[in-house]
Amino acid sequence: MLYYLFRYLDEMNVPGAGVFQYITFRTLLALVVSLFISMILGKRIINLLRKLQVGETVRDLGLDGQLKKQGTPTMGGLLILSAIVIPTLLFARLENVYIILLLVTTIGLGFLGFLDDYIKVFKKNKEGLQGRFKIIGQVGIGLIVGAVLFFNKNVIIAEPVKHATSETVQIADKEFVEMKSMKTTIPFMKDNELDYGKAVEYFGLEASEWAWLIFIPVVIIIVTAVSNGANLTDGIDGLASGTSAIIGTTLGVLAYVSGNAVFADYLNIMYIPNIGELVVFMGAFVGACIGFLWYNAYPAQVFMGDTGSLSLGGIIAVFAIAIRKELLIPIICGIFLVENLSVIMQVSYFKYTKKKFGEGRRIFKMSPLHHHYQKSGYHEAKIVTRFWIIGIILAVCAIATLKLR
């Protein structure tokens, strides 16, 4: 909203108003305001949750210090959502299709997680929202995201051309042709672009009309997998919020260079017009995660609950898809991936051995993976710190893909 006010003031030649045109300046403001909301209002919200007796119900799984967390306020994801949405509404260009899409994802998955937490806390049902309804909600968000990214006319890429024509536009002293395309980036490959349309062309179908048959299911799978991965990672103090901040910073860098014609041309990567606006959203996202971490770090004063974890994972997934970096998710979200895989491996192996040997056997002492290390005697804070270090290493590897091919 403030963007439009200052744009009007700039048109009226008010000195200094033009600074709001810079994405970097608005990103900094979004980060600061997000931190302010989450850190300053955090204590009040925690006290309110305590007053409403919105406490975590902890099952005894034999983990060290676990029962001490009984009654710790949960549903702190409401704080995260507020710290993301408010700065975005204040500083982003709200007509931008990518901003709209991320806001819909944030609110949609946040509401889904809220329903789950509400059932657990107020209905005293430890299982929360039934799994099939969670999946339906995640698939619904994925369907909306995939459909918008495929069919919306403002979702385009721009490729440099040597000779100007009536169809080209000049950006940063270079001529670009803007086009509708379902290309994405393949990391570490020399010609690092993959076109979803090629898959349907193999069957004799027109890519511009039928590539959604491939693209939308891929989007649904990614959104569901990453949001569930973030949900599983939210098992010990500070792990999900800290990891999400690292991932968000990485995606913000990738979005900035992808939305800047000069950097995109220098790095020889896909230039995506208008995608740079998402950096403002990511500034709010990172600020919200760091601000929440102030209260969520060991020993946690509040838990985010599914209200926060489902929305954080969904935001990361949709953001990566929007900037055409979804194939980097296994690297960027490596922590989420191994947490997901540890559960899948544990459950699958247990069922297999129970069927074959008559008794279930386990690969890990407990899943998700962070609980395995807790069972092995590692302190909760040490596990979180080491996971963060691994997350930073993965982030560096992801950014290195810009040049290493």
* Cβ contacts of 191-198, under 8 Å, gap ≥ 24: 192/269, 192/405, 193/270, 194/327
Strand partners, 175: 161, 170
Rounded CA separation 225/212 (Å): 19
Note the pLDDT of residue 172. 66
Average pLDDT, the chain: 90
pTM, 2 dp: 0.94
Quick one: 67 exposed, middle or buried, by C-beta within 10 A (0-12, 13-18, 19+)? exposed
pLDDT digits (tens, 9 = 90+) for 32-91: 999 999 988 888 888 888 888 777 666 666 676 666 777 788 889 999 999 999 999 999
Q: CA geometry: angle at 275 spanning 273 and 279, to 5°?
A: 145
Mean local confidence (pLDDT), 386-395: 97
Residue 405 lies in a domain: no
Rounded CA separation 27/278 (Å): 9
Strand partners, 170: 175
Percentage above 70 pLDDT, the chain: 95
Place of tokens 């099939």: 132
Percentage above 90 pLDDT, the chain: 61
> What is the pLDDT confidence band of residue 205, given thresholds at 50, 70 and 90?
confident
pLDDT digits (tens, 9 = 90+) for 115-172: 999 998 888 787 788 889 999 999 999 999 999 999 999 999 988 776 666 667 777 6
Residue 68 lies in a domain: yes
Note the pLDDT of residue 394. 97
pLDDT digits (tens, 9 = 90+) for 223-240: 999 999 999 999 899 999
Residue 392 lies in a domain: yes
Residues 6+ apart with CB under 8 A from 12: none
Determine which helix (DSSP H) or strand (DSSP E) holds 46, and give its type and residue range. helix 42-51
Note the pLDDT of residue 210. 87
Determine which helix (DSSP H) or strand (DSSP E) holds 169, and give its type and residue range. strand 168-171
> What is the pLDDT confidence band of residue 113, given thresholds at 50, 70 and 90?
very high
C-alpha closest to that of 184 among 174, 194, 198: 194
Residues 6+ apart with CB under 8 A from 84: 34, 106, 281, 284, 285, 288, 315
Rounded CA separation 182/280 (Å): 24
Residue 381 lies in a domain: yes
Note the pLDDT of residue 198. 84
Note the pLDDT of residue 61. 64
Residues 6+ apart with CB under 8 A from 268: none
DSSP state of 328: G
Quick one: 231 exposed, middle or buried, by C-beta within 10 A (0-12, 13-18, 19+)? buried
Residue 305 lies in a domain: yes
C-alpha closest to that of 277 among 33, 102, 38, 35: 102
Mean local confidence (pLDDT), 258-270: 89
Query: Does 213 have pLDDT greater than 80?
Result: yes
Q: Which domain holds residue 376?
A: 2-400
| Helices 97-122 & 77-91 angle (0-180, nearest 10) | 160
pLDDT digits (tens, 9 = 90+) for 319-352: 999 999 999 999 999 999 999 999 999 999 999 9
How many of the other CB atoms lie within 10 Å of CB of 378?
15
Note the pLDDT of residue 166. 63
Core vs surface per residue 148-166: b (16+ CB within 10 A) or e = bbbeeeebebbebeeeeee
Note the pLDDT of residue 3. 82
Residue 236 lies in a domain: yes
Rounded CA separation 319/176 (Å): 24
Query: Does 179 have pLDDT greater than 80?
Result: yes
Residue 316 lies in a domain: yes
Q: Looking at the 3D structure of the chain, how many domains does it have? A: 1
